[in-house]
Chains A and B, each alone.
Chain A
Amino acid sequence: MASKNEPRVWETFLRRPGDLKEGVAIPLVIRDLNPGRKKYALRHVLAIVSPKPQEIPQVDELRVRTVVGVELPGSWGIRILEELPVELPGRPYQDFFLALKAWVADHKLDREPQKKYE
C-alpha cells in the first residue's frame, strides 16, 4: 500500500469523450486502485486534472475508463481539492453525472476562481 506521501492511483468513468476538463475544478467520481481490501471504494470529489501530471503539485495518478468500461491509454494527473458527499442529492434513476454537477453548482464550488494548478 502507498504511504501517505506517495502518489496514489485513482480511476474515473466518463459518459462521453470530452467530459474530463483540464485545468479547472471539476466534480468527479473516482475509485481507489490501490491494493487491499478496500480497492475500488468510490469517492465523490472536486478535483483538478491534467494530461500533463508534472504540471500539478502533489499529484496523484488518474486512469480513465469509458461508459462501457474500456480503459483509455495513458493516465492523467489529479489533485483532489475537496470531498463531496457520498449521499449525493438526486432523483433515483436520473443521471448521476448531472446530479454531481448540480451539487457543485448549488454550492457555488464551480464559481470560485482557481489559480492554475496551485
Chain B
Amino acid sequence: MFRDNRDFMAALRSSGDLLEIEKEVHWDLELGAVSRLACEKEGPAVWFKRIADYPEDKTAFANPMATWRRVAVAFGMKPDAPVKEIYAEYERREGRLIPPVTVDKAPCKEIVQRGGDIDLFAFPAPMLHDGDGGRYLGTWDLAVSRDPETNWVNWGMYRFMVYDSLHLTGFPRPTSHLGKVFQDHYVPKKKAMPVALVVGADPLSHFAAAATYHIGGEEGALAGGLMGAPLELVRCESSDLLVPAQCEIVVEGEVLPDCVGLEGPYGEYPGYRTGEMGNGILFRAAAVTHRKSPILTVDATGYRDDSSTITALTGAIAIKRRLDRHGVPVLDVNVPRDGAVHTAVIAVKYGGGQVARQILETLTSRRALLSKILLVEPDVDVFDLGQVLHAFSTKCHPVHGIHTVQYEGRANTLTPCYSQGERAAQKGATVLYDCTWPGEWSREWEVPVKATFETIFPASVRQKVLSQWRAYGFKE
C-alpha cells in the first residue's frame, strides 16, 4: 500500500490515471478550471508542475480520487474494479482497525517555519472558482483536532481559506465532529483549539478523514486498517497533536474561541455555491512544516469531485451499518455518484410505512446530510440506476409512497434547494420514496408481476433461450 502521496502518484502514472502538465498554469482560476473540467470529463488526476508566481519546486496535484479507477488504485485493486467490489472491499477493511505508531523524524519536517517566517501565501493555493471568497489551501486535506475531555482525536476533511499571511478561515459545519467538539468543549471555556491542517498525506489517510465515521472513532486507526499496516505519525512543533509523518505540508495552529472571520462563499461538493458565507471559524497559524518541493493537494470541488466517490462510498456503508443496528431489514445501500451525496438508494427485505419512518428517523436524528432516499426491494440492484429509476417510476405511489421528515438545527447547510433563511437556521427536510410493494398486498392476488425475462418466464424457457441465444443470431 502507498506510504505517501508521491508513491500514489507514481501508481496513477503507471495505470494511466495521471496527467502531468509541464506548461505554466495560473493559480488564479486557470488551475481550478482545468481541474474542474477534468472532473466533469472523468479525466485523469492532474499534476501541475509549473504554477505562475511560484518557483518550480512548488507544485499542485488535483483530484486524487475523483474517479472510481483512482479509488481502486488507492486500495491496491485493479483500476477497472466494479464499484460494487470497491464498496465490498472498503466494508471488509473498515472493520479492521490498526492503531498508528509514532516516529521521531519525518519528511514533513524537512522545512520548519515559525512565527514571523510563516507566510501562508508561500503555497500556490488556488482560486478554484470565479467568485469564491478566497484561495483555498485546505480542500484535499485532513484537519487533526482533539476532544479535551476524552482525548479522542478526530481527523476530518474540511475546507480552509487563506485570509492573510498568518490566518485561515474554515467551515467545518457546526454539526461536524470538529465543529461539535469546538463548540462543546473549547468555546464555552474560551480556550483556543489546537488544530493541525495536513495537506498531501497518503491517499487512504485522506480517505479515512473524509469517511463518514462514527463520533469517537479514530480515523488514524481506520487509515491503518485500510492500508493494512500502522500509519506513522509525528508530533507537531507547536502542540502535542500527531500528524502523518510522510505528508507534504502541515499548517499548525489554533482555532480561536472568541473570533470570527469571513469564510466563503465557495463552490462546494453539491455542485453549487450556495451563499454559505460569513460564519467561519478563524485559525491562527503557529508553525508551518513541509517536505522539500512540497506538492499541494487539491480537490476541485463541484459536480463529480472527490466526494462523489469517497464520501458517497463511506456514507453508504455507514448508513447500512446504522440501519442494521436499529433493526431495519437493510440489505444494501448505494449513494450514487451523481447524487452529490444527497441521495441514497436503500434495498430492504421488506418496506412499508413503518420501515420508511424508522429509516427517516434513524438517518436524520443527529445531522441530516441526505435529502432524498429511494427505498427498494431485493429484486432491484441498488448499483443499477436504470433498475432504480424503473422501480421509482412504477412502484412509488404518488401519495402513499412518499414520506417526509422536517428538522431544525441539524440540516445540511450546503443543500442548494434550501433558502438562505433555512440555511441560517439549519432547517431542512428529507423525503423517502417508498418503491416497495405494500406489505398488506397479497403476493398471489394483488402484487403486480414484474414483466422481465428473469421474473415472468419459467426456468425451463429461460434456460433454453439463454442456451440458444447465439443460435438465434444475437452477438451478445
Interface residues of A (CB under 8 A from B): 13, 15, 29, 31, 36-43, 65-71, 86-97, 99
Contacts and interface: CB of A to CB of B under 8 A. Distances in A.
Contacts of A68: 131, 265, 273-275
B163 A91 contact: no
B132 A69 contact: yes
A69 B279 contact: no
Contact of A69 (B131, B182, B258): B131
B471 to A, nearest CB: 61
Contacts of B284: 87
Interface string B356-387: 00000000000000000000000000000000
Q: Which 5 A-B pairs have the closest CB atoms?
A: A69-B131, A90-B260, A96-B278, A67-B275, A68-B275
B187 A92 contact: yes
Interface of B: 28, 53-54, 121, 127, 129-135, 162-165, 167, 174, 179, 182-183, 187, 255-263, 265, 267, 273-275, 277-282, 284, 420
A97 B281 CA distance: 13
Nearest to B131: A69
B277 A13 contact: yes
B262 A42 contact: yes
Contacts of B259: 87-90, 92
A29 B183 CA distance: 25
B261 A96 contact: yes
Contacts of A99: 260
Contacts of A94: 260, 279
Nearest to B167: A86
B164 A96 contact: no
A95 B284 CA distance: 19
Residue of B129, B256, B277 most packed against chain A (CB within 10 A): B277
B265 A93 contact: no
Residue of A15, A39, A71 contacting most chain B CB atoms (<10 Å): A39
A40 to B, nearest CB: 5
B281 A31 contact: no
Given A36-B53, A40-B162, A88-B259, A93 B279 contact: yes
B278 A93 contact: no
Nearest to B266: A69
Contacts of A36: 53
A67 to B, nearest CB: 4
B278 A97 contact: yes
A99 B281 CA distance: 13
B413 to A, nearest CB: 10
Contacts of B256: 87, 92
